[in-house]
Amino acid sequence: MIKNESAFEKLLEQNYGIIRKISNLYGQSPDDKADLSQEISIQLWHAFPKFDENQKFSTWMYRIALNVAISHYRKNRTKGNFFTQYDENLHNIPASGEENRENKLALLEKFISELKELDKALMLLYLEKKKHEEIADILGISVSNAGTKIGRIKQLLKQKFDSYKGE
């Protein structure tokens, strides 16, 4: 593969969903998400000459994008939590219906936003249906560790839902 601008743009376009998801997960406002998307793309472009063609582009992209997003998030998190705005509306979950579904989804967003930076990354990769081996490779942990952590986070989310119902 020739590592030129057009090759990069093509690969970026094909995999842009990764940047979008990561920016939506770690960005705290629409502007912040746009900044983060830009920042990730810049770092990808700078790192592109070192991209090892023997590995999957998406795996390489996840590594860089998550690194950039976590650093960006840590730098900006003191500016406020985007998800706190949901709090007041979430106390009364109706028994059934579409509204109930939306509220539960909003609650899930809130609970995921409360996860630690690295746990969020793990959840994102899990949602992407990545194999434990690939998750471990991207994050730099053992395969068994990745599996255990996913189980723990899911358990934590369930507990949060249950305790929210009880309130």
The amino acid present at 20, given as its one-letter code, is: R
Pseudo-torsion of CA 159, 160, 164, 167, nearest 10°? 70
Q: State the Cα–Cα distance between residues 69 and 66, nearest whole angstrom.
A: 5
**Min CB(83)–other proteins separation in Å:** 12
Distance of CA 41 to CAs 15, 34, 161, Å? 11, 11, 35
Residue 76 as a binder of other proteins (CB under 8 A): the answer is: no
Number of shown-chain residues binding other proteins (CB under 8 A): 59
Pseudo-torsion of CA 93, 94, 96, 100, nearest 10°? -50
Q: Which part of the chain contacts other proteins (CB under 8 A), choosing from 18-26, 80-88, 92-100? A: 18-26
Q: State the Cα–Cα distance between residues 50 and 87, nearest whole angstrom.
A: 44
Q: State the Cα–Cα distance between residues 60 and 90, nearest whole angstrom.
A: 38
Residues 33-52: x where in contact with other proteins by CB under 8 A, - otherwise, as a string: xx--xx--xxxxxxx--xxx
**Min CB(51)–other proteins separation in Å:** 7
**Min CB(90)–other proteins separation in Å:** 14
By CB under 8 A, name the binding residues for other proteins.
5, 8-9, 12-13, 16-17, 20-21, 24-25, 33-34, 37-38, 41-47, 50-52, 60, 63-64, 66-68, 70-71, 74, 101, 104-105, 108-109, 112, 116, 118-119, 121, 124, 127-128, 137-141, 145, 149, 154, 157-158, 161-162
